[in-house]
Copies of this chain bind each other. A is one copy, B any other.
Amino acid sequence: MNTQNRTDIAKLGEFGLIEHLTADITPMNKETTTGIGDDAAILNFGNDEEVLVSTDMLMEGVHFDLTYVPLKHLGYKATIVNLSDIYAMNGTPKQITVSVALSQKFCVEDMEDLYAGIKLACQEYNVDIVGGDTTSSLTGLAISITAIGTARKGSAVKRNTAKETDLICVSGNLGAAYMGLQLLEREKIATAGKDIQPDFAGKEYIIERQLKPEARKDIIEMLRKENVVPTSMIDISDGLSSELMHICKQSNVGCRIYEEHIPIDYQTAIMAEELNMNVMTCALNGGEDYELLFTVPIADYEKVASMKDVRLIGHIVGENLGTAMITRDGVEMELKAQGWNLNSNN
Contacts and interface: CB of A to CB of B under 8 A. Distances in A.
A135 B9 CA distance: 11
Interface string A20-64: 111011011101101110101101011111010111111111110
A107 B138 contact: no
B140 A59 contact: no
Interface in A86-137: 94-95, 97, 99-102, 104-113, 115, 119, 126-137
Interface in A294-346: 340, 344
Interface stretch (A11-19, A206-214, A215-223, A276-284): A11-19
A150 interface: yes
B18 A59 contact: no
A28 B128 contact: yes
A146 interface: yes
A308 B235 CA distance: 51
Given A32-B95, A45-B51, A136-B344, A59 B142 contact: yes
A104 B62 CA distance: 12
A127 B27 CA distance: 8
Contacts of A132: 18, 22, 36, 55
A2 interface: yes
Interface in A139-155: 139-140, 142, 144, 146, 148, 150
Contacts of A7: 107-109
B144 A99 contact: yes
A301 to B, nearest CB: 33
Nearest to A27: B128
A57 B59 CA distance: 13
Contacts of A18: 132, 134
A133 B56 CA distance: 6
Q: Which of A7, A25, A99, A131 has the most CB of B within 10 A?
A: A131
Nearest to A58: B135
Contacts of A24: 119
A270 interface: no
B142 A111 contact: no
A53 B146 contact: yes
A146 B55 contact: yes
A27 B130 CA distance: 8
Contact of A101 (B32, B97, B142): B142
B113 A41 contact: no
A292 interface: no
14 contacts: A5-B109, A8-B108, A27-B128, A28-B126, A31-B150, A32-B130, A43-B148, A55-B132, A57-B135, A62-B136, A62-B137, A99-B144, A101-B142, A138-B140
* Closest 4 pairs (CB-CB, A-B): A47-B47, A41-B130, A144-B144, A7-B108
